[in-house]
Structure 1
Amino acid sequence: MIEKLFHSRWLYLTYIGLVLIVYRLTFSSFALSMQGWGYLLGEVVALAAAIMLIGLNKNNRQQLLALPPKQPYRQVTGRQLGQWFMILLLLQFLFDPAMFGFLSRGYAKLGPAFAEEVHTFFALPSLSDYSGLVITVIVAPIFEEILFRGVFLNVLTRYTDGFAVVASSIAFGIAHGNLIQGTFAFFCGILFGCAYLQYGLKVTIPLHMFMNGVLGTLADVAFVQLGLPNNTIAVVLGATFIIAAILWLVIRWLPRVRWSTNNWVTLGWLVISPTWII
């Protein structure tokens, strides 16, 4: 019985959930006092913990080694880059307060505490904050993609690609530590996960850097300086863009994503895994 439990998918998912706890505790302990160094330390500790905990289960490690080799990664086309850009821009319009942030603005209406949370967790560094820019645009995308796609998603593909993308995106959202930014990160994780399956980290890392640097920092500055979030015409145009982008996304992109059969049993084990709940 103990041996069966030790090699179960429930305990395996618990290992992975434990990495999220280590990740958040590291941030809580060091990030505020050490600032940038605390962020870097949190990424390094979480990555090391993920590799160590996943490797603890010998049975799972042997099964991973026995998996069939992945198909060769595809070449990126200009059309695919355009699709990714449109999807990321759509997510920024939905969540980022500086770019209208329809969903986050509604969330902020729940009260002052929620409004402060939205402001705090979407306050990316200014162009004069060089250390903050390095962390946001370079360090975070590299470590987060290695951890959540290169490690989490990669080992969870044994339970089907669809489950791996969703579970790693949930982990990516949880790691951000708050509801509104976590939801935004979850949807970004879905996009990055689908891109990873077809193109690997060589694409998801630059894509993540582009989102944080161009859409999350430069575009924010431009929108705020132009006063676009408070412009009625711009809001109407933004809403029109979002509706069109959603229709385009459903019709053109989602059917092309490579999904294998969903594993609902494993998803159930994930939901009741204690470290994911914690």
Structure 2
Amino acid sequence: MNQYNRLLDPKKDIGRYSGTLAIYLLVMTLVTVLWEVLLGLTIAGSLRKDPSQVTEKLNALNVWAGIPYLISISIGLFLFNAYRKKALYKYDLKHKGRKMTLSVFFILLAFLGFSQVFSSVMTQVIERMFETIGLHSPTPDLGDTIERSWTMLLYAGFFGPITEEFFFRGAGLRGLERYGKIFAIVMTAILFGLFHANFDQLFFASIIGLGFGYIAFEYNIWWAIFYHIFNNFVISQGLHYVAYHVDEGLANWLQIGVLAIGSIVMIVVLATKWPAIKAYIQANKPQPGVFQRALASFWFWFFVLFTILMSIVPYVIPIFQMANLKG
């Protein structure tokens, strides 16, 4: 066959999925804004009653910082089940592939470390490019926020990874698999990276999205969920905790060691297994024309532009703040 099946339309399917993601991201944004407004009103009320307790009240409210995200993912479960026409729970989460082996288990752990290193390099390149035109991104310590808020820890460490896998490696992967595994893995990985609307996470989320897509297809989505939770809770938050609670030198060596070992193992695996990787890609690639047709989707590009604009906002805000100060 020289062309994809004309009875199927990757443009329509990627558009429906991208549109659902855009709605979900918009819901998450609106819920977060409404939550911030509610907090602002609560703090303003405290200020009128007793100005001295504002800081204490703000610290107490930070504990609940994850609530808007938990509310959003609850809405997202309904959205993506509707997108899949109720197949999310009946089919998408029940696929079973091969049995996980010990060697593959550790290789996939190494993959997480390799992804951290590679994405850090790419993020630094982006940062330097923006700095050349006078754009500097504020660097809020998300790890510190998570550590001070058990609700954020629940979201970032557990419920976020679980539901994101439902939405991307469940609904997304299964909704697009008719065009081939490689198409579904690549497109959901790209959209997963963009979904974070943050240049610091764009490359990392896209890279691990490739790995999680492979895991979900060849093993099952529950292994993808395990690695997602392991990355967020153990690697990201665990290394952050170590950095702030043990000797700084030891913490730095520990972080470097974990990431270096993962990178070295993954480089060796890529070098030795490259023929098998190429064979897998060749066996599961889409028919000619599928990617081109999918990239003609309006909603795909709407989602791309929407998330890129959200990613750029943190770089632009300091410029307006400086302008207001000068004014």
The higher-RCO structure (CA 8 Å, 6+ apart) is 2
Aligned CA distance change for structure 1 residues 8 and 80 (closer, same or farther; 3 Å): closer
1:254-265 matches, within 5 Å, as 255-256=275-276, 258-259=280-281, 260-265=284-289
Indicate conservation of the 8 Å contact 1:173/1:184, yes or no. Answer: yes
Question: SS of the residue aligned with 1:272?
Answer: coil
Partner of 2:29: 28
Question: SS of the residue aligned with 2:137?
Answer: helix
Partner of 1:98: none
Question: SS of the residue aligned with 2:147?
Answer: coil
Instruction: Tell me, yes or no, if structure 1 residue 115 matches structure 2 residue 143.
Output: no
Per the TM alignment, residue 31 of structure 1 is displaced from its structure 2 partner at its CA by 1.8
Instruction: Tell me, yes or no, if structure 1 residue 47 matches structure 2 residue 77.
Output: yes
Task: Determine the C-alpha separation between the residues in 2 that align with 1:196 and 1:187.
Answer: 15
Question: SS of the residue aligned with 1:74?
Answer: coil
Task: Determine the C-alpha separation between the residues in 2 that align with 1:36 and 1:125.
Answer: 10
What TM-score comes out, normalization by structure 2 length?
0.67
Alpha-carbon displacement from aligned partner over 1:231-268 (angstroms, at most 9, x marks no partner): 7x899978965763453142245554544123442211
Alpha-carbon displacement from aligned partner over 1:81-123 (angstroms, at most 9, x marks no partner): 110111101122334xxxxx3333333333375432xx24864
Task: Determine the C-alpha separation between the residues in 2 that align with 1:263 and 1:47.
Answer: 31
Task: Determine the C-alpha separation between the residues in 2 that align with 1:141 and 1:102.
Answer: 24
Aligned CA distance change for structure 1 residues 236 and 219 (closer, same or farther; 3 Å): closer
Indicate conservation of the 8 Å contact 2:193/2:204, yes or no. Answer: yes
Partner of 2:54: none
1:43-82 matches, within 5 Å, as 43-55=73-85, 72-82=96-106
Paired residue for 1:105, among 121, 124, 136? 124
1:159-174 matches, within 5 Å, as 159-174=179-194
Partner of 2:317: none
Alpha-carbon displacement from aligned partner over 1:37-59 (angstroms, at most 9, x marks no partner): 32123323333223323439xxx
Task: Determine the C-alpha separation between the residues in 1 that align with 2:164 and 2:288.
Answer: 26
Partner of 2:315: none
Look up the equivalent residue of 1:42 and give its one-letter code.
S
Paired residue for 1:180, among 187, 196, 200? 200
Aligned-CA RMSD value: 3.4
Task: Determine the C-alpha separation between the residues in 2 that align with 1:238 and 1:210.
Answer: 14
Indicate conservation of the 8 Å contact 2:19/2:300, yes or no. Answer: yes
Indicate conservation of the 8 Å contact 2:13/2:175, yes or no. Answer: no
Look up the equivalent residue of 2:219 and give its one-letter code.
Y
Indicate conservation of the 8 Å contact 1:141/1:205, yes or no. Answer: yes
Task: Determine the C-alpha separation between the residues in 2 that align with 1:154 and 1:162.
Answer: 12
Alpha-carbon displacement from aligned partner over 1:141-200 (angstroms, at most 9, x marks no partner): 110011100110012110000101001111211211123312211101001000111111
Aligned CA distance change for structure 1 residues 203 and 241 (closer, same or farther; 3 Å): closer
Look up the equivalent residue of 1:150 and give its one-letter code.
G
How many pairs were matched up?
255
Task: Determine the C-alpha separation between the residues in 1 that align with 2:216 and 2:233.
Answer: 20
Indicate conservation of the 8 Å contact 1:10/1:273, yes or no. Answer: yes
Structure 1 regions of 5+ residues with no counterpart? 96-100
Q: Which has the larger radius of gyration?
A: 2
Look up the equivalent residue of 2:78 and give its one-letter code.
A
Structure 2 regions of 5+ residues with no counterpart? 1-5, 36-64, 303-327
